[in-house]
Chains A and B, each alone.
Chain A
Amino acid sequence: MYAVIVGCGRLGALLAVGLSVAGHEVVVIDRHEASFRALSPEFSGFRLTGDATEHALLESAEVGRADCLMATCNEDTLNLMVAQVARHVFGVACVLARVHQPAFGAIFKDAGIQIISPTQLAFDAFCATLDEGANRQS
């Protein structure tokens, strides 16, 4: 598959390398060229420097033919915008956005994008681990 990853921070770099190693075609976009240093040497995809809210940049990343777009920047609003543009303007079938603010999950539930909330995931993991501990003690 062809995957576009927006943001080359810890999560973006991890996804980019993982998908690239698994044999997928990957483009990773970041505003700062220095961010690409987070990519390990196994990464064989493309790096694109620029602002993903700029329409022309998404066109040059050929988002229109992407099977999947993952928005992993630190800013929720940026991820939500890029994800919606990928889904509704470029018609990308599978769009994922990392969103920290839990309230956005409910507000954008019908926006056609999949929202991944680190806060919710951590909460679930904490609770599950707590339950396991409690079960072991009882």
Chain B
Amino acid sequence: MNIILIGGDQTTYFLAREFISQGHGVTLINRDPEDSRIISQKLKATVLLGEGSDPETLEQAGARSADVLIAMTSHDHDNLIACQVARLQFEMPRTIALVNDPQNEAVFEDLGISVAFSATRIIASLLNQQTRFAAITHLMTLGQGQISLTEVLLPDKSPAAGKTLHELDLPENFLVAAVLRGDTVLVPRGPTRLAVGDKLIVVGAQADFQTIITRLVGD
């Protein structure tokens, strides 16, 4: 895959290094001459000195044939415009932007960015999950971060304990894939009755996960 990365901080550098080690082609765009020089010495990547939102710089970076553009600068406006120029001018199939203000996440997706992610929101939600629900273990993320596989332990006061899956009437985009009860593994069906202490393996849309957690664990 050909990836264009915009930004100059440590995260961008390590991300580029990671992509290169996975065999992807990486072109970096950075506005700082000193940073660009250092990065180009350390990485097997093309490093361009310039603005990521500048159409000429993007053209030189190979925007016409790249598969994805990732904008990682500390300025939301530079990230947004770089992604929009890539999409509108070069028909980039996928654009990913770091948003610094978490409220801009939804705004960016409204404005045509494929994925907008906020480090602030991710860290805050990790902390919330840890403190509020010690019973929940996130196992893995699938489908470019949209699907989450999570283990949920039903606590003493679980509103779901004693009910069948059918009675729980979970949202359609969720599935209880397995129930671990002691040493037994159950593949649950509608009539399966849940009990306190059951470990549920839940698959569903990452975005709506709070809904199902509340239904299974309580507030």
Contacts and interface: CB of A to CB of B under 8 A. Distances in A.
A38 B85 CA distance: 33
B78 A77 contact: yes
Contacts of B101: 53-56
Contacts of A85: 107, 111
A55 B116 CA distance: 15
Nearest to A51: B101
A82 B77 CA distance: 8
B111 A77 contact: no
B55 A107 contact: yes
Interface string A81-122: 110110011000000000001011001100000000000000
Contacts of A82: 77
Given A53-B101, A107-B55, A107-B89, A80 B77 contact: yes
A78 interface: yes
Interface in A48-72: 53-56
Nearest to A75: B77
A82 to B, nearest CB: 8
B120 to A, nearest CB: 12
Contacts of A25: none
State which size class the interface on A falls in. 20 to 34
A124 to B, nearest CB: 22
B54 interface: yes
Nearest to A55: B103
Contacts of A77: 53, 75, 77-78, 80-82
A101 B54 contact: yes
B88 A107 contact: yes
Contacts of A81: 76-77, 80-81
Contacts of A88: 110-111
Contacts of A101: 54
Contacts of B77: 53, 75, 77-78, 80-82
A103 B53 contact: no
Contacts of A103: 55-56
Contacts of A89: 107, 110
A25 to B, nearest CB: 25
Of A78, A81, A103, the most chain B CB neighbours within 10 A belong to A81
Contacts of A75: 77
Closest 10 CB pairs of A and B: A55-B103, A81-B77, A77-B81, A77-B77, A78-B77, A103-B55, A53-B76, A77-B78, A81-B80, A77-B53
Interface of A: 53-56, 75-78, 80-82, 84-85, 88-89, 101, 103-104, 107-108
5 contacts: A55-B101, A56-B101, A77-B75, A88-B111, A108-B84
